């Protein structure tokens, strides 16, 4: 199949533009997705890492949740799923999703501030049972 | 009934294997008896799958909680309507439902072609039975049998997640599944063409309507999902670039590309390899979507259970389809040569090609963003993700280019557009689009991307309206008909073309609605009864919302409902009372988690949308403590959001016009390719 020369340029052009968009899109919007333990390790390795926006998944430590009276400011502690000694405090200034409880598994986006409190800008709850009960739940 | 259903599943597998073998053998050996047996096996498997599905439904209706699937998705209190939809509420039922739909479409195909297109049918049947065999193997051996029994009998089931107890959610999954499964028919014909060597555009003509049917269901299904998200999920948006949403968008993008590129093959005999590849790719993506929706492979708000067995089986299946199709295409490469070549950069062929490339580019970008976390983790060991900002950044420019092509494609000349053709067709629309953008800018709309979208949208609308006007006028003059009758005949005589243009109008509306999001207003406030909040609409007026208080009702309404805490908000527009809105927190009997119901006041130009974000002391409020009235309220103004739903409706009407069986099949088929794209024909 012989294609017009100018046409070939057009094809390559489209491919190049799409690749460029994807490339810059990824490099400008990507975030590290870490566990609390990994985040702590990174920060102790390189203190400037505190200013990097990251995504962290962990579990809310039961009983640590509190809310500033009359304001949408929530504080709670999050622990690593594997290593419960790895924890940090989180401050979240927005409405919590309905699925949030004080033992939820959560995915947070934000950055660890200089004071060691994680300022979360988004909070998603993650649970395998969102739409389906785990079979073992049925036994209880 | 239930036992019969389970039993049917086991019988269906050997029948499907038999049908697959007979289809391919019959095709190779040209033995009619084998082919007939294969065709009958399709009916048999469909009947068996129907029995199995009826078995699952019966288990739901009979509250048979000894079945794991029923116990996980239903309870005694669930309304019958939702028990019926239990068939597709979870992974296990969905897979059965998928197979049932394939069987159903396969039976229609076999019946329609019982006397026609016999050279395709053996392989078509073989491929369809092969796909059914795969799904039966998954159902029976991948630990997802919907008839699996528990070791004990629970007193009641877990109940259906309250968020799924919504009418949109009842129709959204089956609509998408209809779209996914209808595409197996074009795929089967494509493979049959590769096998029997009939590689002209016959297989495309035969499956045109199936492709459009699939596309129609996919589009409508995606829009239903957006609507559900908007109404039920309580965050004020309709698209989150969630992996599962992306998974349904991917086959839509490639199917849209295919719908356009087949027109080049029909008219100019080009792009044969490309079309084959697009069919295979789209089919693979429908399988990918089916699998992704109901597995927990990628972190997603839609994720279900984490089951790796099924992941391996699906990847093996997709891998073998890909390899098999690639081998066949390579083997037939000499017969897939183009009959023509593109003559000019400025031609309809070229516009279609660019449309295809851009759609595929979009699909690639979406796919890449979706699987990026997995790839990044595999390569660097670091888990890295991209979120909605990535998809928006990449897809805005791509979407705008596509939108422009939706106007350029219909009027640019085939083969070679002359300067005169370009000037005549594009001067007025370009000026119109620019004027619209300028007027909007003068009225205060300054957001560059939104302005560009509205300008380009106006350009496309102008072109399409002009096309309708020219066609109608010419017909009225030649045939001496009135304008309305002429318009009716114009559309009826070439449904695919004019239906397609109507779809383009729907797409323009949807894009304009998306662009409205640039002017979303979002206000949050902590309120006590009597407090007010002022919200300015981008259209210049303002809303004053007064929080009137919280009322709690316990144990009323739906059977599954424990209590509702309803916040009443009265709304004034420019100081004049116009009504009230409510938003509530709900607790269902069967679910630990709370639910938020939002309040929406829709108007053609904008929605006023309120969310009861939080109640200060929910326990006290539920116990009717009069002092526990403090709430957090989120108020959104969503300009043009309804244009998305209107556009969806127009799109649906347009594709139905394209789908409607033509009464003038023969006359139309005899026409030589003209300056217009080819016309609706027989399936």
Residue B186 has pLDDT above 50, yes or no: yes
Q: Residue B454's CB: how many other CB atoms inside 10 A?
A: 24
Inter-chain contact A30–B302, Cβ cutoff 8 Å?
A: no
| Mean of per-residue pLDDT scores for chain B | 89
Contacts for A20 with CB less than 8 Å, ≥ 6 apart? none
Optimal mutation site among B345, B522, B628, interface A, most CBs of chain A within 10 A: B345
How far apart (Å, rounded) are the C-alpha atoms in residues B154 and B403? 54
B126-135 tens-digit pLDDT: 999 999 999 9
Counting beta carbons within 10 angstroms of the beta carbon of residue B443, is it exposed (0 to 12), middle (13 to 18) or buried (19 or more)?
A: exposed
Calculate the alpha carbon distances from B432 to A7, B21, B427, B429, B608 in Å.
Answer: 29, 60, 9, 5, 31
Per-window interface: A 43-102 vs B, CB < 8 A: 55, 70-72, 94-96, 98-99, 101
* C-alpha distances in Å from residue B65, one per residue of B6, B59, B158, B260, B543: 15, 8, 9, 49, 50
Q: Which of B591, B262, B250 is nearest to A130 (CA)?
A: B591
First-last CA distance in chain B: 37
Q: What is the pLDDT of residues B50-95, one digit of tens each?
A: 999 999 999 999 999 999 999 989 988 888 989 999 998 888 899 9
Residue B560: pLDDT over 50: yes
The predicted model gives B568-588 an average pLDDT of 93
Taking contacts as CB-CB distances below 8 angstroms, the residues of chain A near B265 are none
Whether the CB-CB separation of B470 and B483 falls below 8 Å is answered with: no
Q: How far apart are CA A124 and CA A108, in angstroms?
A: 7
E-strand spans in B541-590?
542-554, 561-573, 576-588
On the question of pLDDT at B467 being above 80, the answer is yes
State which H helix or E strand residue A110 sits in: strand A105-112
What tokens were used for A104?
A: 């939820």
pLDDT on residue B593: 73
Task: Provide the β-strand partners of residue B526.
Answer: B632
pLDDT class of B233 with cuts at 50, 70, 90: confident
For residues B403 and B414, give the distance between their C-alpha atoms in angstroms, rounded to a whole number: 20
How far is C-alpha B101 from the chain's CA centre?
16
Distances (CA, A) of B286 to B42, B128, B183, B185, B382: 21, 15, 8, 12, 29
Which chain A residues have a beta carbon less than 8 Å from that of B337? 1
Cα separation of the two ends of chain A: 66
DSSP bridge pairs for B639: B606
Question: For position B307, what pLDDT does the model report?
Answer: 56
Strands in B242-397 per DSSP E: 384-385
Q: What chain B residue is nearest to A98 in terms of C-alpha separation?
A: B594
Residues of A in contact with B376 (CB under 8 A): 30
pLDDT digit string, tens, across residues B288-330: 988 877 665 554 434 434 456 777 888 899 999 999 999 999 9
Q: pLDDT confidence of A5, banded at 50, 70, 90?
A: low
How many angstroms separate the CA atoms of B283 and B267, rounded? Answer: 24
- Copy the structure tokens of residue B84: 């019926």
pLDDT value at residue B273: 92
User: Which of B341, B353, B585 is nearest residue A1 as measured by Cβ atoms?
Assistant: B341
Higher-confidence residue: B571 or B675? B571
CA distance B593 to chain A (A): 6
DSSP state of B532: E
Mean per-residue pLDDT, B419-437: 92
Q: Are strands B532-536 and B576-588 parallel, antiparallel or unpaired?
A: unpaired
- CB contact under 8 Å between B342 and A18, yes or no, is no
- Among residues of chain B, what percentage have pLDDT more than 70? 93
Which residues have C-beta within 8 Å of that of residue B390, sequence separation ≥ 6? A25, A26, A28, A29, A30, B241, B369
CB contact under 8 A, B394 and A101: no
Structure confidence at residue A69 as a pLDDT band (50, 70, 90) = confident
In which residue are the tokens 């590769």 written?
B194
According to the model, what pLDDT value does residue A3 have?
52
Q: Are B506 and B650 in contact (CB under 8 A)?
A: yes
Q: What pLDDT was estimated at residue A127? A: 55
Q: What is the 3-state secondary structure (H, E, C) of B647-660?
A: HHHHHHHHHHHHHC
Helix axes B388-411, B348-380, angle to 10 degrees: 170
Four-CA torsion A5, A10, A16, A22, nearest 10 degrees? -160
pLDDT, average across residues B553-563: 73
Taking one residue from A and the other from B, the number of pairs with CB-CB distance under 8 angstroms is 149
Q: What is the DSSP letter of B150?
A: P
Domain A31-126 falls in which CATH fold? OB fold (Dihydrolipoamide Acetyltransferase, E2P) (2.40.50)
Its ipTM equals 0.81
- For CA atoms B665, B491, B275, B192, give the dihedral sign: negative
Count CB atoms within 10 A of the CB of residue B320. 12
Q: What is the pLDDT of residue B385?
A: 83
Closest CA to B83 of B68, B62, B97: B62
The length of chain B in residues reads 683
**Sole residue written with tokens 């979240």:** A92
How far apart are alpha carbons B560 and B115 in whole angstroms?
53
Can you tell me the distance from the alpha carbon of B226 to that of B217, in angstroms, rounded to the nearest whole number?
A: 14
Contact B494, B610 (CB under 8 A): no
Integer Cα distance of B256 and B423 in angstroms: 28
Q: Which residue in A has a C-alpha nearest to residue B394's C-alpha?
A: A21
Sheet holding B599-602, edge to edge: B521-527, B631-639, B606-615, B599-602
**d(C-alpha B385, C-alpha B333), whole Å:** 39
pLDDT above 60 (res A135): no
What average pLDDT score do residues B42-47 get?
A: 98
The residue written with tokens 């309305």 in the block is: B484
Dihedral sign from CA coordinates of B484, B487, B491, B494: positive
Rounded to an integer, what distance in angstroms lies between the CA atom of residue B347 and that of residue B675? 11
Q: Which two tokens stand for residue B481?
A: 């008909």
What pLDDT is stored for residue B662 in this prediction? 67
Kindly state the average pLDDT of the residues B607-614.
93
How many distinct helices (H) and strands (E) make up chain A? Answer: 3, 7
Taking CB atoms and an 8 Å cutoff, what residues of chain B touch A138?
A: 68, 71-72, 150, 154, 158
- Distance, in Å, from the CA atom of B418 to the CA atom of B425, rounded to the nearest integer, reads 11
Using CB atoms within 10 Å of the CB of residue B619, give its burial: 0 to 12 exposed, 13 to 18 middle, 19+ buried: exposed
Would the pLDDT of A136 be above 50? no
* Cβ neighbours of B161 in A, within 8 Å: 130-132
pLDDT tens, residue by residue, B368-417: 988 887 778 778 777 788 888 899 999 999 999 999 999 998 888 888 87
Q: Average pLDDT for residues B561-585, to the nearest whole number?
A: 93
Pairing of strands B606-615, B532-536: unpaired
pLDDT, one tens digit per residue, over A17-68 is 989 999 988 888 888 888 888 888 888 888 777 777 888 888 899 889 988 8
SS3 B543: strand
Closest CA to B73 of A132, A69, A116: A132
Whether the Cβ atoms of residue B336 and residue B272 lie closer than 8 Å to each other: yes
Which chain B positions have a beta carbon within 8 Å of A42's beta carbon? none
pLDDT digits (tens, 9 = 90+) for B666-678: 444 444 444 344 3
On whether the CB atoms of residues B286 and B296 are closer than 8 A, the answer is: no
pLDDT band at A4 (very low <50, low <70, confident <90, very high): low
How far B158 CA lies from chain A's nearest CA (Å)? 7
According to DSSP, the β-strands at B521-527 and B532-536 are: unpaired
**Coil vs helix vs strand at B416:** coil
CB–CB of A131 and B614 under 8 A? no
Cβ distance B342 to A98 less than 8 Å, yes or no, reads no
Which residue from B265, B358, B291, B279 is spatially nearest to B98, judged by alpha carbons?
A: B291
Residues in chain A: 140
Contact yes or no for B252/B212 (Cβ under 8 A): no
Task: Identify the three-state secondary structure at position B79.
Answer: coil
Q: What is the average per-residue pLDDT within B639-651? A: 97
Picking from A10, A126, A135, the nearest residue to B354 by CB comes out as A10
What's the pLDDT score for residue A71? 77
**Higher pLDDT, residue B164 or A127:** B164
**Tokens standing for B77?**
């209190």
| Cβ contacts of A28 on chain B, cutoff 8 Å | 389-390, 393
* Alpha carbons B656 and B224: distance in angstroms, whole number: 17
pLDDT tens readout for residues B12-24: 999 999 999 999 9
Instruction: Say which residue, B630 or B47, is predicted with more confidence.
Output: B47
Other C-beta atoms lying within 10 Å of the C-beta of residue B268: 21
CB A87 within 8 A of CB A79: yes
pLDDT of residue B658 exceeding 80: yes
Q: How many CB atoms lie within 10 A of CB B374?
A: 13
Query: Token digits for B442?
Result: 């003068």
């Amino acid at each position: 199949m012989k294609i017009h020369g100018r046409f070939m340029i057009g094809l390559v052009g489209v491919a190049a533009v799409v690749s460029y968009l994807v490339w810059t899109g990824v490099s400008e919007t990507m975030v590290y997705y870490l566990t609390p333990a990994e985040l702590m390790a990174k920060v102790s390795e390189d203190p400037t890492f505190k200013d990097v926006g990251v995504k962290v998944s962990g579990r809310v430590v039961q009983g640590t949740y509190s809310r500033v009276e009359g304001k949408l400011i929530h504080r709670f502690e999050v622990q690593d799923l594997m290593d419960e000694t790895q924890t940090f405090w989180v401050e979240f200034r927005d409405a919590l999703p309905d699925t949030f409880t004080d033992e939820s598994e959560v995915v947070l986006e934000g950055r660890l501030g200089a004071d060691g409190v994680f300022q979360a800008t988004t909070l998603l709850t993650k649970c395998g049972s969102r739409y389906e009960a785990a079979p073992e739940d049925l036994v209880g | 009934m239930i036992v019969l259903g389970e039993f049917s599943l086991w019988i269906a597998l050997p029948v499907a294997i038999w049908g697959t073998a007979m289809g391919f053998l019959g095709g190779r050996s040209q033995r009619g008896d084998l082919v007939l047996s294969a065709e009958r096996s399709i009916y048999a498997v469909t009947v068996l799958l129907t029995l199995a599905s009826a078995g699952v439904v019966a288990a739901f209706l009979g509250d048979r909680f000894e079945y794991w699937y029923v116990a996980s998705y239903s309870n005694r209190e669930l309304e019958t309507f939702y028990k019926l939809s239990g068939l597709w509420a979870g992974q296990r039922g969905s897979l059965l439902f998928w197979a049932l739909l394939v069987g159903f479409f396969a039976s229609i195909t076999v019946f329609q072609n019982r006397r026609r297109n016999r050279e395709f049918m053996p392989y078509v049947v073989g491929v369809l039975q092969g796909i059914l065999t795969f799904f039966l193997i998954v159902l029976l051996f991948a630990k997802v049998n919907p008839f699996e029994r528990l070791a004990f009998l629970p007193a009641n089931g877990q109940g259906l997640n309250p968020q799924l107890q919504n009418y949109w959610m009842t129709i959204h999954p089956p609509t998408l599944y209809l779209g996914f499964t209808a595409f197996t028919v074009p795929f089967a014909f494509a493979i049959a063409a590769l096998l029997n060597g009939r590689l002209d555009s016959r297989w495309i003509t035969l499956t045109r309507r199936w492709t459009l049917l699939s596309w129609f269901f996919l589009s409508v299904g995606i829009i239903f999902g957006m609507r559900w998200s908007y109404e039920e999920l309580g965050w004020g948006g309709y698209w989150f670039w969630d992996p599962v949403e992306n998974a349904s968008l991917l086959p839509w993008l490639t199917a849209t590309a295919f719908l356009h590129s087949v027109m080049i093959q029909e008219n100019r005999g080009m792009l044969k390899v490309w079309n084959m590849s697009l069919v295979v790719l789209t089919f693979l993506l429908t399988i990918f979507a089916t699998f992704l929706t109901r597995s927990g492979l990628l972190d997603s708000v839609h994720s279900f259970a984490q089951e790796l067995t099924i992941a391996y089986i699906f990847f093996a299946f997709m891998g073998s389809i890909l390899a098999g199709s690639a081998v066949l295409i390579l083997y037939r490469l000499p017969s897939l040569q183009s009959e023509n070549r593109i003559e000019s950069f400025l031609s309809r062929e070229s516009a279609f090609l660019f449309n295809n490339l851009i759609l595929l580019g979009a699909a690639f970008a979406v796919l890449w963003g979706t699987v990026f976390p997995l790839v990044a983790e595999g390569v660097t060991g670091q888990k890295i993700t991209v979120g909605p900002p990535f998809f928006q950044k990449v897809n805005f420019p791509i979407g705008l280019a596509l939108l422009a092509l939706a106007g350029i494609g219909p009027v640019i000349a085939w083969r070679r557009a002359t300067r005169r053709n370009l000037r005549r067709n594009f001067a007025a629309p370009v000026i119109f689009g620019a004027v619209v953008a300028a007027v909007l800018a003068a009225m205060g709309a300054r957001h560059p991307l939104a302005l560009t979208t509205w300008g380009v949208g106006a350009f496309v609308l102008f072109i399409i309206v002009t096309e309708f006007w020219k066609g109608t006028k010419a017909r009225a003059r030649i045939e001496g008909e009135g304008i309305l009758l002429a318009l009716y005949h114009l559309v009826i005589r070439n449904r695919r073309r004019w239906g397609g243009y109507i779809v383009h109008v729907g797409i323009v509306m949807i894009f304009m609605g998306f662009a409205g999001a640039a002017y979303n207003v979002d206000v949050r406030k902590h309120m006590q009864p009597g407090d007010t909040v002022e919200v300015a609409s981008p259209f210049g007026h303002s809303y004053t919302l007064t929080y009137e208080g919280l009322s709690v009702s316990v144990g009323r309404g739906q059977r599954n409902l424990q209590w509702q805490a309803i916040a009443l908000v009265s709304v004034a527009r420019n100081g004049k009372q116009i009504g009230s809105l409510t938003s509530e927190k709900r607790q269902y009997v069967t679910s630990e988690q709370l639910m938020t119901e939002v309040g929406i006041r829709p108007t053609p130009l904008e929605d006023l949308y309120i969310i009861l974000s939080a109640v200060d002391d929910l326990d006290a409020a539920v116990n009717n403590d009069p002092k526990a009235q403090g709430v957090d309220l989120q108020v959104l103004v969503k300009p043009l959001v309804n244009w998305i739903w209107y556009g969806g409706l127009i799109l649906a009407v347009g594709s139905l016009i394209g789908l409607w069986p033509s009464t003038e099949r023969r006359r139309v088929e005899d026409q030589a390719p003209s300056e217009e794209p080819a016309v609706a024909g027989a399936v």
